[in-house]
Amino acid sequence: MRQQTPGKIFLADERGLIESDRFRRFSTFNFGPWARPHKGPFGRLYGFNEETLAGQHAVAFTVAEASHVLIIPVTGAVALAVDGAPEVTTEVEQLQVLTLPAGSVLTVKNPYAEELVIFLHLWLLADAPVSTGCTQQAEFRFDAAPGQLQPVTPVPAGPSLPFAVHLGRFAGREEAVYKLHGPDSSFFAFVLAGAFEVEGRLMHEKDGLALWQVSEVELEALSNNAVIIVLGLQNRAMA
């Protein structure tokens, strides 16, 4: 009998909810004004949010500690600006990685007049103080590698990032194996659509799963057009 890998599941219906008539945010971890016991960060990953913005609305986030912020549009596009710098537009099937100093203000805007946009924003602590912000973009196509976890690599290549991002769309019963880089790495997965079994855990849409003390992770799609995001995380260096 296979020994189960240590882990923790974050159920979709236990996510935090903050909303107004202009936005709605679901948070897997404690974020902003929403905080609950047992919803603290997983290593360097301290924010995993799904946000809906109304047309022409913007939200601003102040960066408390030097961080890598990942923006992944699910529908439409978003316009990003940091501390008043020119906007950068990020669209569906693109990933924007912003490496930001403490005290920066990131503004995310819906550029459309009426349509809603949905995007993910992920927050990871940087290892060292960041003096100057930078941004990198990656593109991917789900139809380019069906049934596989495809790496999403930002360009231009900047300083080495302490995480790796993979995304995949799978048909029912398709399988994949994710190999971590080494013993100082951990694993986080989030189901965007459908259902999966990941290392013996059943995951439904918008569930998250953290695993540690693991060298490789097996996953199987349990529905058609199932979509998953995987993060391989380097454990944060101790001061």
Confidence label for 237 from pLDDT (cuts 50, 70 and 90): low
180-226 confidence digits (pLDDT tens): 988 889 999 999 999 999 999 999 999 999 999 999 999 999 999 99
Q: What's the confidence (pLDDT) of residue 2? A: 60
Q: What is the pTM of this model?
A: 0.94
Q: How many domains does the chain have?
A: 2
Would 2 be classed as within a structural domain? no
56-103: pLDDT as tens digits: 999 999 999 999 999 999 999 999 999 978 899 999 999 999 999 999
Q: Which of 97, 54, 53, 55 is nearest to 72 (CA)?
A: 97
Domain boundary among 104, 139, 174: 139
Q: How confident is the model at residue 158 (pLDDT cuts 50, 70, 90)?
A: low
Residue ending a domain, among 139, 164, 188, is 139
Q: Is residue 172 part of a domain?
A: yes
Residue 205 sits in the same domain as residue 91: no
Lateral strand order in the sheet of 105-109: 58-62, 105-109, 77-82, 88-91
Residue 226 to residue 113: CA distance in whole angstroms: 31
Q: Which residue has the tokens 């790796």?
A: 164
Cα dihedral 179, 181, 182, 183 in deg (nearest 10)? -70
Q: Give the residue with greater pLDDT, 43 vs 128.
A: 43
108 in a structural domain: yes
Given a cut of 60, is residue 1 above it in pLDDT? no
Domain boundary among 106, 139, 172: 139
Q: Domain containing 187: what range?
A: 142-234
Q: Which is higher by pLDDT, 172 or 235?
A: 172
Residues 72 and 22: their CA atoms lie apart, in Å, by: 20
Q: Using an 8 Å Cβ cutoff, are 174 and 219 in contact?
A: no
Using the predicted structure, report yes or no on whether residue 3 has a pLDDT greater than 80: no
